[in-house]
A and B are shown apart, each in its own frame.
Chain A
Amino acid sequence: MKTVDARGQACPKPLILTKQALKEMSPGDSVSVLIDNPVSFQNVERFLTDNGMSPQTTEQKGVFTVIVRKQAEPLAHPDAASYCSTCSTAQKPPIVVFAQDKMGRGSDELGKILMKAFVNTIRETSPLPSHLVFYNSGILLTVEGSPLIDSFNELERKGISLLVCGTCAEYFKKKEAVRVGTLSNMYSILETMTAAGHIIQP
């Protein structure tokens, strides 16, 4: 019997781990889940009974053991996509694409100053973008020595994702010097641009 150790995991991790285990098991198999958080234990037990299963539970020294058998019929697999957003007119957040490390054309020096002001103003805008995408010389804004590292960290803390083109970082020989965001690829970048509400390009 498989054992899932969810001890020390904060709610709702124990439930997620239990569900994951059930998904991977064959019908008729059993799983044993260890939970040390009484509230999480109650929630997992409730989830299982609500979904037609009969968990057996024991408790010893603050650790709950939940043993449950996967039903012969699989848990209903609803078409999740149809629930994705019943709010079809919900506003999709914009993204910002940094295709170069300067803003505008005519003067490089002015371009650098404008870019700094642009990035520092992003946090004041509403709605905030969901992603910042960097490619070509745009990646230079994300490397060691860039005056914008702290600003980008602040935006990351708000839940904004920073995608830095890996090919570009390598081209500029700066792959090890990237200090914010995650290295990404053309597919992810294109996927992000396609899904965006609208694209802002300084």
Chain B
Amino acid sequence: MPFDLLTTVEYGGCSAKLSPAQLAEVLKDLPEIRHERLLVDISTHDDAGVWKLTDDIALIQTTDFFPPVCSDPYEFGQIAAANALSDVYAMGGTPINALNIVMFPQSRIPLEVLREILRGGMDKVAESGAVIVGGHTIDDFPPKYGLAVTGTAHPSHITTNAAARPGEDLILTKAIGTGAIVAGHRIGETKPAAYRAAIESMKQLNKSGATVMNHYNVCSATDITGFSLLGHAMKMADASNVTIEIDAAAVPLLDDAYRLVELGCIPGASFRNQAFVGDQCTFSDSVDYNLKMLLFDPQTSGGLLFSVAHEKARDALAELRDSGHSCASIIGRVVSRADKALIVNQA
């Protein structure tokens, strides 16, 4: 009987990340790192570290790994790899190589399962054009997989999360709701077609999204993962010293996600994200509660969120939709920094 990876995470799967508040607490007392070659560092809580190697080459480095989010090991490998590669694309870069990071309980799970996880990771890295150059494995339970990725970009074409400008439009390239859908699948609630669509969305690289971003000279971007759309948008607003306005009704949702949240299938991490954003977000009265909790839904391998000049937004959107991002949408705009980092309306 083939091994079901989801049986290793039956505790309820509240996302594996430390809460953003806890992380901030830990980091605040550590010395700040400054270096003339460090173009982007931890202070803006950006997606990756960026190191200027030469006048033409900046190295982008990032890492990501987590326990299983699906039953099938090959798909888990693909999703974990896509998720790790995503941070390079979020910086506007191109991945060049990666290291495997593996935790695997060899006495509890057959080794063939590990082979399938690695094969999934390898295939996804190959799809990005990069190469796996090594890795490290230790014995641990539950199993976890991911990558440490290196990418490159031109030093003056890095898309940080700190360059959003008032007047720009905000584009999101993938639909949200993977948290609710995966939680729902664990308890047998999620519709099979919706689950499959969510898995395919998680496997999708943000490669073509980054290509479109570079085509339209986008300066500011981030990718949406465990801290939710609002969590990552808040980081972008704070780093850029702007306010981000979002129209909740314009945010693309994965099919069945709303129905699941309405049932009460809200992942624990959604509440953690809500606590993290705290009073930094104003919600208008018209915002539906379930939709609000979806905006706090932790994403696995989510899309890119970037700001683009208003007059170019429609063209950028059309190009995204032509290149495999059928759910890409303009979800809001950047305005001058007001009292709060985020404003959410519902038209």
| Interface positions of A (Cβ within 8 A of B) | 10-13, 15-20, 37, 39-40, 42-43, 46-47, 50-51, 76, 78, 80, 83-87, 89-93, 123, 126-131, 150, 153-154, 157-161, 195-196
Contact = CB atoms under 8 A, between A and B. Distances in A.
B80 to A, nearest CB: 16
Interface of B: 1-2, 4, 10-14, 70-72, 74-75, 175, 183, 185-187, 192-193, 195-197, 199-200, 203, 249-256, 258-259, 262-268, 271, 274, 288-291, 321, 326-327, 329
B14 A87 contact: no
Contacts of A19: 263-264
A90 B258 contact: no
Contact of A159 (B196, B250, B258): B196
Nearest to B200: A127
Nearest to B270: A43
Contact of B264 (A18, A92, A129): A18
A76 B286 CA distance: 12
Contacts of A12: 12, 183, 264-268
A84 B264 contact: no
A40 B272 CA distance: 11
Nearest to A85: B255
A10 B264 CA distance: 13
B288 A78 contact: yes
8 contacts: A12-B265, A12-B267, A15-B265, A16-B187, A39-B14, A93-B196, A158-B196, A159-B71
Contact of A92 (B12, B193, B266): B193
A50 B289 CA distance: 8
A11 B268 contact: yes
A80 B259 CA distance: 6
A46 B197 CA distance: 30
B266 A47 contact: yes
A136 B299 CA distance: 42
A86 B251 contact: yes
Contact of B2 (A37, A93, A157, A195): A157
